[in-house]
Amino acid sequence: MAKQIPVRQCIGCREMKPKNEMVRIIRTPDNDICLDKTGRMNGRGAYICLSLDCYNKAVRSKAIERALKQEIPDDIYEAIGKEMM
């Protein structure tokens, strides 16, 4: 029997995609916001496609802030955007 691939919803485009095609943005227990490329770090997470369009859409609509339940300063948005490239 084939192994099932987990799917997650992108917070930018709202499409369901395989988990391994996305990157996770997390809020750590210390309230730091960072990218979790391994998908295993502790904290509240939200998945987003590796597309610049999806990232920009999520920033404009404040979807990342809603998903992580925390306000995010502009410098952190810039750092995450650079890290995604």
Mean pLDDT by 10 residues, the chain (85 residues): 91 96 95 91 95 95 96 94 88
11 is a domain residue? yes
pLDDT given at position 50:
92
- Tally of structural domains, the chain: 1
pLDDT given at position 84:
85
pLDDT given at position 1:
75
CATH number at 27 reads 3.30.1230.10
User: The pTM is what?
Assistant: 0.90
Q: Is beta strand 33-36 parallel, antiparallel or unpaired with respect to 44-49?
A: unpaired
Residue 69 belongs to what domain range?
Answer: 7-84
Measuring CA to CA, which residue among 83, 76, 18, 9 is closest to residue 48? 9
Specify the 3-state DSSP secondary structure of 8. Answer: strand
70 is a domain residue? yes
